[in-house]
Amino acid sequence: MIRTYMAVAACALALAGPVHAAGDAAAGKTKALVCSACHGIDGNSINPLWPNLAGQHAAYLAKQMKAFRSGERKDPVMAPMSVPLSDADIDDLAAFYASQTPK
């Protein structure tokens, strides 16, 4: 019985496939110029106080930026930076940073 459940779960995971951001990484690179002041040009921050974004999962990045924008997640720096971003902007930024290599 347990093997059957495990087989069904494995098939469901295999059919689901990888999750990709709907954003455009090339557009995100242009939009990331403002972000680069803190997070680095390629998402690798030189200041340990600011997180590295390079190589993070796009869905995670998009979720966090949307949480800053909505006020669900509070930060005095990120809140005003995220408010003017559209969902497409966020998806593009997330796709760009996800495509970068962490250092």
- Quote the CA–CA distance of 58 and 72 in Å, as a whole number: 19
- Quote the CA–CA distance of 66 and 91 in Å, as a whole number: 10
Enumerate domains of the chain plus CATH numbers: 21-98 (1.10.760.10)
Residue for token pair 């966020």: 90
The tens digit of pLDDT for each residue in 30-77 reads 999 999 999 999 999 999 999 999 999 999 999 999 999 999 999 999
- Sequence-distant (≥ 6) Cβ neighbours of residue 42 within 8 angstroms: 54, 100, 101
What global pTM score does this model have? 0.79
Determine the 3-state secondary structure of 37 from DSSP.
Answer: helix
